[in-house]
């Protein structure tokens, strides 16, 4: 029964600041299988808000600025999205 007691405690203490809007890009990318066409990504996850250094943006808005129409790997997709939104820290307020 000691295992049950250990499971009750949170694994990571959460901070007390405001929550960050949007999902991490890695989480959205992990919900897809690769390779993937841009149109399929938009159909499946286009309305997903992702975290960016300038605040949350929909994946549809970001992909509108990406020239690629086919992503053969998850890393290519992530790199192309980060080229548009930037690679800086995500604003927390």
pLDDT band at 10 (very low <50, low <70, confident <90, very high): low
**Segment 14-40 mean pLDDT:** 87
User: In 10-73, which ranges are continuous DSSP H helix?
Assistant: 25-30, 38-45, 59-63
Q: How many whole angstroms separate alpha carbon 9 and alpha carbon 39? A: 42
Question: Of 17, 79, 86, whose CA–CA distance to 52 is shortest?
Answer: 86
Token code pair at residue 73: 């790997």
List pLDDT tens digits, range 33-83: 999 999 999 999 999 999 999 889 999 999 999 999 999 999 999 999 999
pLDDT band at 21 (very low <50, low <70, confident <90, very high): confident
């Amino acid at each position: 029964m000691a295992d049950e007691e250990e499971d009750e405690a949170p694994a990571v203490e959460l901070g007390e600041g405001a929550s960050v809007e949007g999902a991490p890009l890695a989480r959205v990318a992990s919900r897809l299988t690769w390779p993937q066409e841009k149109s399929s990504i938009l159909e499946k996850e286009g309305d997903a808000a992702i975290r960016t250094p300038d605040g949350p943006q929909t994946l549809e808005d970001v992909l509108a600025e990406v020239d690629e129409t086919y992503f053969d790997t998850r890393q290519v997709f992530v790199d192309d999205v980060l080229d548009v939104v930037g690679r800086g820290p995500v604003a927390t307020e």
